[in-house]
Structure 1
């Protein structure tokens, strides 16, 4: 990372915003002689700063108020229960368990839980100096005042920072989408492994889907008109809709692209397809550059003409191929695959033109019901039934919360028993190290120890060389806090180092013994890190590989819902695109969860090659299944008037749907029954393909309607085959619970 990238990054901007907002009341109060008020307002600002992130205003306000109120309440309670060891221990365990049980359900819940964990630690650390409720209440009021100030400060800045945050996310989404298309080019190369290419594409798609979610976080719940193309927020809505449709088409085309290089007949089409794919990449890169500065400059006319010319060449090539196709099934299949890809590229070029038109403020097209757009926003809610389903040792969330609470309470009371001067630091170390996943916890543990050791050494050097006074100590701890927050997402070891400096010079500012603070900071960290290492290994361990069967089923359920939606759309009088796109979004998100879980399992359990290989194959099969479903959805958008002309076609799709049901436990089906269904489907498929070959040769008017039916039957058969392979893979999956 260059210095320019660091200075202009969102994390650095966020840290600077906190430095100004939190230091201002500290400096004003200190200047007026109210040092204690300034310190507590700084802490109160810290309790809500973590929520000052790129999310919509109503959500930001709600989480800030919640975090501020609960932090003050928790601080108040834990300053007063320390003299009652049993009550203190029970409250500490219950509070930590509840906070950390809820935290994995949402990234925003996780942030609030971390801030509330911090308030527990601060309450315990100050309990000796705040012996009575009368002394505690004013300080809790100061915390609330600091929280209220920073909340107001954040709300005032929100309209200014929102466009910058949104622009960054659109740029990132355009870059990731371009990377996806660039990786897709490997499918044109017969010498490149298809399995590896599809795995790379599925991972890149997961990155793109995550970027879509980040845009939705900033955009879709704002209390304003988000469909007016004359505003930046409105244009962002149109951009997002087109970008999601673009990745849908790319995913849908993966099914057909896999077969392209295998046929010598298609060699003439491959260079044209590759050129069109390169054009899409270049246009996305250009849009990324343009949106950075709200540049309305359009693409060079020559580029557009070249793309249109290439598309025309592909059309003429396919027209010629159709005319010379012999009466062979393979040639007809090749022709239909290429014709499908031609239509996909036509739609992709149209979406690119839509985005350029939005950029130029010429026109804007949105195929969604504008009054339902906000349904695509992220909702941080937990249903009671879903929550209750995780109150079990089978749940990784439950095990994590129990492990966190037991380890943190154990670290705190062990530090107390050993006579450590600041035992709450051991508790905080556990709270920041332990994460739901093993690999992240292990990484955090190492970074925490390295960063603390370096921070203590640097702090001792600064203290003895410069002998800083009160103002100098304030400057150092504020500067350290700024750098700690600016690196928190990039490199936790650096963050840990600066937080150590913050703590040491904060205590120096309070005129507490510097050497004691340094010694116990290091000692508490080492003690807590040792307990964390034992904990992640032996206290209700839950490895990511154990979560894989669950996320596989969730992804299959989402695909099943998408297929059901597509079939319902054909039966309906009119195409309900919004309903389809909501189902599509859920399928994308669940596929993203599956791939992320698989990646974590690879890191945590690299030695379990049999499990990982099986899950990799399952993931790729589900990715191919999603590609097929999206190809059906794309067909409906292109041909919204299509209806079942033959009841048998719908029957085969219903059989495919029931096959997916059998995978997720909604329907029991024997292997023999499944084989019989697939054999019947394959026989029907062969008959229909021969019919299409003949109609193609005769140039019959019936060709188009019959080839549309064949497309659905082929899709049903492919879905059945994928279901058959998935069933075998899921039966062969070794018991992951014996992983460690």
Structure 2
């Protein structure tokens, strides 16, 4: 394979340099580096370093989302960092009292997770401020107050930079999130194309597709969070705000049409593999994915294509001619040539929808958009994001071992206490606070993530230590080292939320370069950092494994039930349509969103379970089968729904066998839910639409029954029945 295959493409570089991660990395680097440089210039280097430390703490809370939430989180962290740093500095001379403080704060600050991930990041930032205060604790209450004040000044400096960036570019975060979402969707479409390659294993194809579905859902949720919670976007009628909302809505519709394109791929490969037509379909799907990928890069960069976008109409016409020229498949294959025509229709629809998304750069589209008025539109969009309110009673309600947050807080308290006393009594390195800092960063609520982070931390520290040592040996020039320091800082802080291994490698390397400027021997620093990292990781891993561990297998019954519940409601809206009842567009989109979110949560938990100890896994083969069947079921419901939406006139007549199949499918999902859920929750599940309800409206139509509809409903019945069998095996 040529070297160019391993190098990032121009499009990859465009995504990176215009991404929110890179802009965050630049901002964090500036916020950390400038105070230290100015302090050194003015003879106040220690004060400059403390201010930079405050900026480091605040950067932990600056996770993606609407700026109002980011600002509130940073303000809360600012106050907590100040208070905890002052208290820590005052108690530093008193070992026993300091140990009690570490135990209490590590528990209490971790419990902030009951109010969500952002509140949890506030707790993490405060813990980091506490640990970094222990690096060089000031003596006396006045020095302690000055130290805490400088930390708060650094946090305020970081907040000011973030505020200026938002004021200058109010729509930038939304554009970056939307572009990243389109890129994830393009990768999903590429994986769908692989199903037409008869050289691949279908089980592996489904495994990769479901994993990418998790990524797509995460990216789309990030866009919803930024767009629908930002008042300036959903309430104002500016051109940019309308285009953002319209384009995201169309991208979600595109995702539905991609997932709805399900076919019996095994039968397709048998019937049409020798003809070569599947290769043509795959190639066209891949090119459509590339078109979508380029569009995402253009939105991230906030500039249109440099060249006219490709027109896929001639390729679609050639594919149509090839399909028409094919001889009918053998009857033994169990599939007819009609399926290729359906695939062609789906490809045309995908091409049309991608072209529609391309109109993001068309100002006239926003001007002529028939969207609702500002306040009404905002009210509609707020339904698509979960409410985030601070309910104070939630803290007390989670003070039980039944709460995963409480168990994690107990683990954090025990691990931090152990790390503190180990560093205080047994290990007297110059930077032994690194042990405690490693524990606070490495210990996560789930064991799978804890183990993954620990592995990446150890590997990254070793590789980063070797990289830093090699550069210090090879590059004696101070100016060149400073340039490398800048580059490594930007890389480290750009990847801290996406590729932790990369962050640790370059963070370790830049710390070694920084210590070389302070006159410390880098070999001693490497030895101590590796030792402290190993000790901290060992404590975090042992605590996560031994003390109230939360295994993903224990969460699966709830996730399985949530997925079935979402698909049952999704199937019910299809039954309503077939019965002639109107389903409001907003209601349908909310049901569709619930299916995507529930399916992604289940798939993500399944992936995490596979990285846990083998003894803790709960029937991975059956769970994988359930995940695949769930994907097939929701895809076919989407396919039927979209076809009904696009048809004009009355609802089609459902033949008796089709009505029985639909009723049986709903009943099968209801039985599966009854196996998984507690009896007290039975009333929450919607009842199946009866055969009589379906017949009452459908038989009034004058259209003849649709036999292809009957076949599709029978397939839904089969998949629902198979889900029931898998659920029965899981419960057993």
Alignment TM class, shorter chain as reference: 0.7 to 0.9
**Residue 186 of structure 2: which of 167, 178, 190 is its match?**
178
1:131 aligns with 2:132: no
Note the C-alpha offset of 1:42.
Answer: 1.5
Is residue 149 from structure 1 mapped to residue 142 from structure 2 by the alignment?
no
- For residues 621-640 of structure 1, the aligned pairs below 5 Å read 621-639=629-647
- In structure 2, relative to structure 1, the CA distance for the partners of 1:513 and 1:203 (3 Å cut) is closer
Q: Matches of residues 357-376 of structure 1 in structure 2 within 5 Å?
A: 357-363=359-365, 370-371=377-378, 372-376=380-384
In 2, distance between residues paired with 1:502 and 1:486? 14
Point out the more displaced range, 93-102 or 576-585: 93-102
For the 8 Å contact 1:269–1:317, the answer to whether it is kept is no
Inter-partner Cα distance in structure 2 for 1:275 and 1:15: 37
Give matches, 1:567-716, under 5 Å. 567=575, 574-605=582-613, 611-639=619-647, 653=662, 656-665=665-674, 702-703=703-704, 706-707=705-706, 711=709
**Gap change, CA 1:526 and 1:545, over 3 Å in 2:** same
The yes-or-no answer on 1:732 pairing with 2:729 is yes
Partners of 1:647 and 1:398 in 2: CA distance: 54
Rounded Cα–Cα distance in structure 2 between residues aligned with 1:388 and 1:647 = 56
Give the SS at the match of 2:229: coil
Residue pair 1:298, 1:356 contacting (<8 A) in 2 also: no
Structure 1 residues 249-268: aligned runs within 5 Å: 249-255=257-263, 260-261=268-269
Q: CA deviation at 1:201?
A: 2.6
Is residue 703 of structure 2 the alignment partner of residue 722 of structure 1? no
Q: What is the alpha-carbon distance in structure 2 between the residues aligned to residue 630 and residue 229 of structure 1?
A: 31
Q: Which among 51, 55, 73 is matched to residue 63 of structure 1?
A: 73
Partner of 1:697: none
| Conservation of the 8 A alpha-carbon contact between 2:668 and 2:724 | no
Of 15, 26, 31, the match for 1:21: 31
Number of the residue aligned with 2:354: 352
CA distance in structure 2 between the aligned counterparts of 1:168 and 1:258, rounded to whole angstroms: 38
String of CA shifts for 1:400-420, please: whole Å, max 9, x gaps: 332222112111112212262
User: Would the aligned equivalents of 2:298 and 2:305 in 1 still touch at CA under 8 Å?
Assistant: yes
Give, in angstroms, the shift of residue 587 of structure 1.
Answer: 1.4
Deviations 1:226-273 (A, max 9, x none): 598974443233222222111111212215666545657998996886
Structure-2 separation of matches of 1:300 and 1:618: 39
What runs of 5+ residues in structure 2 fail to find an aligned partner?
A: 1-5, 681-687
User: Which residue of the partner structure matches residue 457 of structure 2?
Assistant: 448
Say whether 1:435 aligns with 2:455.
Answer: no
Q: CA deviation at 1:219?
A: 3.2
Task: Work out the number of aligned pairs and report it.
Answer: 697
Tell me what 2:253 maps to.
245
Change (3 A) 1:68 1:637: farther
**Residues of 1 paired with 2:280 and 2:471: CA distance?**
64
TM superposition shift of 1:118: 0.3
User: Using a 3 Å threshold, how does the CA distance of structure 1 residues 424 and 277 change in structure 2: closer, same or farther?
Assistant: closer
In angstroms, what is the RMSD of aligned CA positions?
5.0
Structure 1 CA distance, aligned partners of 2:125 and 2:606?
Answer: 29
**Structure 1 residues 195-230: Cα deviation after superposition (integer angstroms, max 9, x where no partner):** 433333323333322332333344333332459897
Which residues of structure 1 form unaligned runs of 5+? 670-676, 693-699, 736-740
2:492 and 2:507 in contact (8 A); partners too: yes
Matched-pair contact (CA < 8 Å) for 1:57–1:158:
yes
Residues 339 and 431 (structure 1), Cα distance of their counterparts in 2 relative to 1, 3 Å cut: same
Residue 672 of structure 1 corresponds to which residue in structure 2?
none
SS at match of 1:224: helix
Counterparts in 2 of 1:386 and 1:562: CA distance versus 1, 3 Å: farther
Residue 118 (structure 1) aligned to one of 121, 125, 128: 128
- The alpha-carbon distance between structure 1 residues 463 and 208, as it changes in their structure 2 partners (threshold 3 A), is closer
Change (3 A) 1:572 1:95: farther
Assess, with a 3 A threshold, how the Cα gap between structure 1 residues 162 and 255 changes in structure 2: closer, same or farther. farther
Distance 1:107 1:565, change over 3 A: farther
TM-score after normalising by structure 2: 0.78
CA distance in 1, matches of 2:402, 2:230: 38
Offset of residue 72 of structure 1 = 1.5
Does 2:211 correspond to 1:209? no
Counterpart check, 1:560 vs 2:568: yes
Q: Residue 227 of structure 2 contacts residue 233 of structure 2 at CA under 8 Å; is this kept in 1?
A: no
Alpha-carbon displacement from aligned partner over 1:145-164 (angstroms, at most 9, x marks no partner): 22222211111112556666
Q: How much has 1:354 moved relative to structure 2?
A: 1.6
Pick closer, same or farther for the CA change 1:168–1:726 going to 2, 3 Å: same
1:408 corresponding residue in structure 2: 416
